[in-house]
Amino acid sequence: MTSSPPARRKPFVREVLGRSDYAIIGDLIEPNTSVLDLGCGEGELLEWLAANKNVTGRGVEIDGTRVQRAIARGVSAYQGDIDQGLADYPADSFDYVILSQTLQETRKPLAALREMLRVGRNAVVAFPNFGHWSVRISHLISGRAPRTRIFPHAWYDSPNIHFFTVRDFEDLIAREGWKIERRYFLAGRHRGRLLANLMAEVAVYLVRR
């Protein structure tokens, strides 16, 4: 087996789905609203939302080079981690807070979600589904930490530190008393809701307080 490259913190939704997350998030975000994108990368999504939905956007990104590129394309991006990115803002600063790749990478996912729903009236959360059949099979057959298309990293160099499924996520949302407004399940280039916890590689949720 060849050694895997160091973990790249690419926006996985965009990597897996190409541009189709624009279509989904474009679906979710109402025009003329305000959006905070956590882990905004090079600001492509915010630029797209500004151009196509007249959205006022702000971005947070930990990687300095990406922040520079985001600013260079006219996006108001801030270099920092997600916790810092949220703490400064007063409540209700945004219509939407987007976390499109990294909930499974945050140290305290619940705290992150609570902060998102303090700062924003709505949260858009996307994450890779650990309940996908390929994950289950990989683990069952190999007896090792699963490695699949959406979880490609070796256990020792993975940025993912929390592993959860569609069902886990919905349980948590219910427990916190939040409301799921919209849900999308994706596998490859397909969308579908049948046996979501088994079939979805990526889930995208619109959650309201």
Partner 1 sequence: MTVETKLARFDGVDLDIGSRIAPVEVAYETYGTLNAARDNAILIVHAFTGDAHAAGICPEDGKPGWWDNMIGPGKAFDTNKYFMICSNVLGGCRGTTGPSSINPATGKPYALSFPGITIADMVRLQHMLVKHLGIERLLAVAGGSMGGMQALEWAVMYPDMVASAIPIATTARHSAQQIAFNEVGRQAIMADLNWNNGDYYGGDPPARGLAVARMVGHITFMSDDSMKQKFGRRLRDKETFSFDFSVDFEVESYLRYRGSQFVNRFDANSYLYITKALDYFDLANGYGSLAKAFEKTQARFLVISFTSDWLYPSYQSLEVVSALRGLNKDVAYCELESNYGHDAFLVDVGAQTEVVRGFLASTYREVTHQ
Residues that bind partner 1 (CB under 8 A): 58, 64, 67-69, 71-80, 88-90, 93
Tell me whether residue 6 or residue 64 sits nearer to partner 1 (CB atom). 64
Strands (E), the chain: 34-38, 56-61, 76-79, 94-99, 120-128, 179-187, 190-191, 202-208
Question: What's the closest the beta carbon of residue 87 comes to partner 1, in angstroms?
Answer: 9
Residue (75 or 112) nearer to partner 1, CB: 75
Residue recorded with tokens 């705290």: 111
- The tokens describing 114, both together, are 């609570």
* In the complex, least distance from residue 170 CB atom to partner 1, rounded to whole angstroms: 31
In the numeric block, the tokens 């990687």 are attached to: 63
Sort 114 into a burial class: Cβ within 10 Å, 0-12 / 13-18 / 19+: middle
Query: Which lies closer to partner 1 via its Cβ, residue 59 or residue 128?
Result: 59
Chain centre distance of CA 202 = 9
Hunting for tokens 């499109």 — which residue is that? 100
Name the minimum Å distance from CB 37 to partner 1: 13
CB of 93 to partner 1, least distance (A): 5
Q: Which is nearer to partner 1, 93 or 158 (CB)?
A: 93
Least distance to partner 1 from the beta carbon of 197, Å?
A: 37
C-beta of 46 vs 187, nearer to partner 1: 46
Angle between helices 44-53 and 20-28 (to 10 degrees): 50
